[in-house]
Amino acid sequence: MPIDTAPFPSPPARTPDPGLARIQAARARHWARARRLIAILLGLWLATGFGTVFFARDLAHLSLLGWPLSFYLAAQGASLIYLAIIGGYAWRMRRLDRAFERELARAQEDGA
Amino acid sequence: MSKLDASGTGAGAGTSTGAGTGAAGAAARPGSYFRRLSRYYLWFTLCFGLFLAALGILEQEGMPRQWIGHLYMFATIVLYATIGVVARTSNVSEYYVAGRRVPALFNGMATAADWISAASFISLAGTLYLHGFDALAYVMGWTGGYCLVALLIAPYLRKFAQYTIPDFFAVRYGGGNGSNRRGTTVRAVAVAATIVVSFTYVVAQIYAVGLIASRFTGVDFSVGIFLGLASILVCSFLGGMRAITWTQVAQYIIILVAFLIPTMWLSVKFAGNPVPQVAYGSVLPKLAQREAQLAADPREQEVRATFQARADAFGERLARLPHSWEAGKIEAQRQLDAARGRNASLGEIRNAERTLLSYPRTADEAERAWTAERAANLARAQPPEPHAEPFPGKTREESDIRRNNFLALVFCLMFGTAALPHILMRAYTTPSVHETRVSVFWALFFILLIYLTMPALAVLAKYDIYTALVGTDYTALPTWVSYWASVDKANPLISIVDVNGDGIVQLAEIAIDGDVLTLATPEIGGLPYVISGLVAAGGLAAALSTADGLLLAISNALSHDIYFKIVDPGASTQKRVTISKLLLLAVAFIAAYVASQKPADILSLVGAAFSLAGSTMFPALVAGVFWKRANHQGALAGMVAGFLVCLYYMLHTNPMLGGNVEGVWFDIAPISAGVFGVPAGMAVLVLVSLLTAPPPPETAGLVEHIRAPE
């Protein structure tokens, strides 16, 4: 299997190639955006889990279609928010990946 | 990346068997491959529906229950074995990662089946029934963990594109020119963690297989274990990850059907709405009303007072140890002599003999037994806790402790989920990084179809028992009560005794084991036995699918990471797969042997597996991607420290492991030891990494590579 032998490119050599520099800049931008997205979604994840539990007693008096709000959040609401977080992440990352591809194509056009 | 995949796919197509249930032969275009798979599984679902209908008609015609149980058991096991035979392979990429071409939707379904274990399927609804709001920690924790999997781990593992989780540790934390070039030490530690976590878990699955098989077909427990084992083996032995994936998709469909049919039935019965997730909101207020009514009912109070008196009696005997022990022993002997002396009936003499035989042998033993008895009686003397109320407690502190424990358990389960090797392994099997992200979404979606129904089932069943069973006459008990009471004589799953002698069932007189709830739901709802058998088949599918994934995780860790990467790096691909299959066989038999010993202590450790997995693997996995400065020494120290802190806390505080409840920190229960283990592991990883030399330059290249888009 070809996968067994060092499949990873060594760190790019430091040549003054302008195309390569642009690719690296595009990669760095992509990673910065991805990292920000992950940080925001992790914040939402933490707020959902912590908020639902920590304020459960205060939310118990509110009612949502027959459910006490805290019971609904713990039994369904939080899990549905988690699903939305994962779905949102996959969707946004797809768009970030495509934006990166476009930048890459532009860099290659300019280089050619 | 695409070059590697193309070669993997090409090799897979070359050796595939070319026929049958969709696992065979990759199509040229992913879209048509996906359509073909969907067609196969639609046909499968249809055939399964016809099978159910046929069994239903046969039951109407008077086929005995035993036969229906046998038919389910053998039909499903033959099905899994057939998929295993059709998807057999000895190609390395196929065997370890299913050729990396499982479409996201099907990978999600397989992950869901991998995830929904016997504990989830059989016990979770019962736990929700017994513990109300507190048990929702499992629902929240086990679903929230997938956020961590999706955001922090799975896409990067897919980009890394090797075979096992220890692979990632070894490459990320190895490198350089020193003795650590191949990352052998960190690989070995990761293998050890994988095995410790997965083995406790797999023993519990096989135990459940034996239990279900023996209950529904009447075969002996150990025979049941080996029947289940046979189907696991045919499947994973022949086809590795590829066969397991396609079996798990079929198993997920069975699990879903088996869980939804009875719950929807109950939902129509009590709420007039076939969607239980929506319907049970209207039942909750009625349940709360009924709970309040039962708490104030004078007859209920009478029964609870009886239990309180029994608890007090045990307390008194405990206070007068060891004299009370001697007096009790003499009294038991005297009873026996008296019975013999007055020529009492044989039954009475037997009873007296049994009392004497089961009497504690020493005063110490008596102390343990009586303490347990007192606790059990005290628990039954409590009025029912309101199902939907969060953290009820006599004082604000008591309530706060329950809230903190809930929070701790949620986070332990989340971090544990994000570090379970058999779940993470599945990230390797999709065609691209994007598909991996989408597959985690589908995995949680399919898990939620079951998990959002569990609290509904618990509420509906509770309402049925509180209103229909409580208050009936003892002469008119429903048949399911006597059936389930007689299934396991030593530890009855349900027992109802007329404590106050009024001939009417009181809630406090019912002792119900959580495990019975899911299995008995069809009978509680008055459905035919075919549905009961279906639920058992669903439980079997849940246990088998999880056992499949776990066994593969263990045997791959041993064969790929230990044998191929450490012992004999020059081994041919053929030899690697053969070794892997042999190890799988060995591990399966060891696990089955351990399970057949019915080890109570191992079963109680399954919950602890999450804390251990999270504490050991999570920090090093995440730091491997998100912190370039994390190095070999840091990862090793972090893993060992996380594991030790977690283990220490469990041993120190869990009475079953020789600890003492007095030793808890911040009143956190031992099952949530990961709340201390994960931060400790993370802190040690950061500290040691910063104190030692930075990782070699090629590590930075690797991290850049796995972060970069395809």
Of B585, B430, B569, residue with least CA distance to A4: B569
Q: What is the dihedral of CA B370, B376, B378, B381, to 10 degrees?
A: -140
Residue B669: count other Cβ atoms within 10 Å of its Cβ.
Answer: 18
Mean pLDDT, range B211-230, rounded to an integer: 78
What is the distance between the alpha carbons of residues B461 and B476, in angstroms, rounded to a whole number? 19
What is the distance between the alpha carbons of residues B38 and B32, in angstroms, rounded to a whole number? 10
Determine contact: A99 vs chain B, CB below 8 A.
no
Instruction: With beta carbons under 8 A apart, name residues in chain B contacting A93.
Output: 155, 434, 437
Query: Distance of CA A21 to CAs A17, A24, A25, Å?
Result: 6, 5, 6
Q: Which uninterrupted H or E stretch holds B540?
A: helix B529-556
Q: Which uninterrupted H or E stretch holds B213?
A: helix B184-217
Chain-centroid distance of CA B282 in Å reads 30
Q: Which of B7, B105, B120, B136 to mutate to test the interface with A (most CBs of A within 10 A)?
A: B136
Report which DSSP code applies to B693.
P
Query: Distance of CA B256 to CAs B105, B120, B154, B248, B334, Å?
Result: 15, 13, 25, 12, 58
End-to-end Cα, chain B, rounded Å: 7
Determine contact: A11 vs chain B, CB below 8 A.
yes
Of B132, B72, B677, residue with least CA distance to B391: B132
Of B413, B461, B132, residue with least CA distance to A74: B132
3-state secondary structure of B249: helix
Q: What is the pLDDT of residue B603?
A: 58
Instruction: Verify whether the Cβ–Cβ distance B700 to A11 is below 8 Å.
Output: yes
What six digits make up the tokens of B638?
A: 């972090």
What six digits make up the tokens of B192?
A: 């050890």
> Mind listing the pLDDT tens digit for each residue in B499-547?
777 888 888 888 888 778 888 888 888 888 888 888 888 988 888 889 8
Residue B259, pLDDT > 70, answer yes
Q: Which amino acid is at B96?
A: Y
Of B702, B639, B655, B641, residue with least CA distance to B194: B639
B238: distance to nearest CA of chain A, Å?
20
Q: Does a cis peptide bond (omega within 30 degrees of 0) precede residue B262?
A: no
Q: CB–CB of B192/B640 below 8 Å? A: no
Q: What is the pLDDT of residue B656?
A: 67
Q: What is the pLDDT of residue B639?
A: 93
**For residue A54, what is the nearest residue in chain B, using CA coordinates?**
B403
Q: CB–CB of B595/B225 below 8 Å? A: yes
What is the distance between the alpha carbons of residues B44 and B84, in angstroms, rounded to a whole number? 15
Query: Distance of CA B267 to CAs B241, B260, B377, Å?
Result: 38, 10, 34
Give bridge partners of residue B495 from the DSSP assignment.
B511
Q: CB–CB of B389/A60 below 8 Å? A: yes
Residues 6+ apart with CB under 8 A from B38: none
Mean pLDDT, range B384-407, rounded to an integer: 84
What is the distance between the alpha carbons of residues B510 and B507, in angstroms, rounded to a whole number? 6
Residue B481, pLDDT > 50, answer yes
Mean pLDDT, range B537-563, rounded to an integer: 87
Q: CB–CB of B381/B307 below 8 Å? A: yes
Give bridge partners of residue A67 from the DSSP assignment.
A64
What is the distance between the alpha carbons of residues B102 and B108, in angstroms, rounded to a whole number? 9
Query: B275 φ, ψ to 5°?
Result: -100, 95
Lowest average pLDDT, out of B83-97, B215-229, B554-568, goes to B215-229
What is the distance between the alpha carbons of residues A67 and B659, in angstroms, rounded to a whole number? 40
What radius of gyration, in Å, describes the C-alpha atoms of chain B? 27
> Mind listing the pLDDT tens digit for each residue in B272-324?
888 888 888 888 888 888 888 888 888 888 888 888 888 888 888 888 777 78
What is the DSSP track for B142-163? HHHHHHHIIIIIHHHHHHH--S
Q: What is the pLDDT of residue B619?
A: 94
B113: distance to nearest CA of chain A, Å?
17
Of B515, B474, B463, residue with least CA distance to B496: B474
What is the DSSP track for chain A? -GGGS--SPPPPP----HHHHHHHHHHHHHHHHHHHHHHHHHHHHHHHHHHHHHTHHHHTTSEETTEEHHHHIIIIIHHHHHHHHHHHHHHHHHHHHHHHHHHHHHHHHHH-
Tell me the range of A9-13, B129-133, B480-484, B596-600 where mean pLDDT is highest.
B129-133
> Mind listing the pLDDT tens digit for each residue in B8-49?
333 333 333 333 333 444 444 667 888 888 998 999 999 999
Lowest average pLDDT, out of B148-162, B216-230, B409-423, B458-472, goes to B216-230
> Mind listing the pLDDT tens digit for each residue in B289-303?
888 888 888 888 888
Residue B54, pLDDT > 80, answer yes
Determine contact: A96 vs chain B, CB below 8 A.
yes
Give bridge partners of residue B496 from the DSSP assignment.
B510
End-to-end Cα, chain A, rounded Å: 35
What six digits make up the tokens of B225?
A: 């274990």
Query: A67 φ, ψ to 5°?
Result: -80, 140
Q: At what angle do helices B124-131 and B516-524 cross, to 10 degrees?
A: 90
What is the distance between the alpha carbons of residues B127 and B624, in angstroms, rounded to a whole number? 37
Residue A7, pLDDT > 60, answer no
**For residue A99, what is the nearest residue in chain B, using CA coordinates?**
B709
Q: CB–CB of B657/B646 below 8 Å? A: no
Chain-centroid distance of CA B455 in Å reads 17
User: What ipTM did this prediction achieve?
Assistant: 0.86
Residue B601, pLDDT > 80, answer no
Q: Which of B134, B149, B151 to mutate to test the interface with A (most CBs of A within 10 A)?
A: B151
* pTM confidence score: 0.87
Q: CB–CB of B112/B446 below 8 Å? A: yes
Report which of residues B575 and B111 the model is more confident about. Answer: B111
Residue B69, pLDDT > 90, answer no
Mean pLDDT, range B438-458, rounded to an integer: 93
What is the DSSP track for B41-70? HHHHHHHHHHHHHHHHHHHHTT--HHHHHH
> Mind listing the pLDDT tens digit for each residue in B637-682?
999 999 999 988 888 887 666 667 777 788 788 788 889 999 999 9
B308: distance to nearest CA of chain A, Å?
30
What is the distance between the alpha carbons of residues B591 and B208, in angstroms, rounded to a whole number? 12
Determine contact: A103 vs chain B, CB below 8 A.
no
> Mind listing the pLDDT tens digit for each residue in B408-437?
999 999 999 999 999 999 989 998 899 999
Counts for chain B of helices (H) and strands (E), in that order: 30, 2
Determine contact: A24 vs chain B, CB below 8 A.
no
Q: How confident is the model at residue B375 (pLDDT cuts 50, 70, 90)?
A: confident
Q: How confident is the model at residue B467 (pLDDT cuts 50, 70, 90)?
A: confident
Q: What is the pLDDT of residue B266?
A: 86
Q: How confident is the model at residue A37 (pLDDT cuts 50, 70, 90)?
A: very high
Residue with tokens 């399970």: B595
B513: distance to nearest CA of chain A, Å?
22
Lowest average pLDDT, out of B193-202, B596-605, B685-694, goes to B596-605
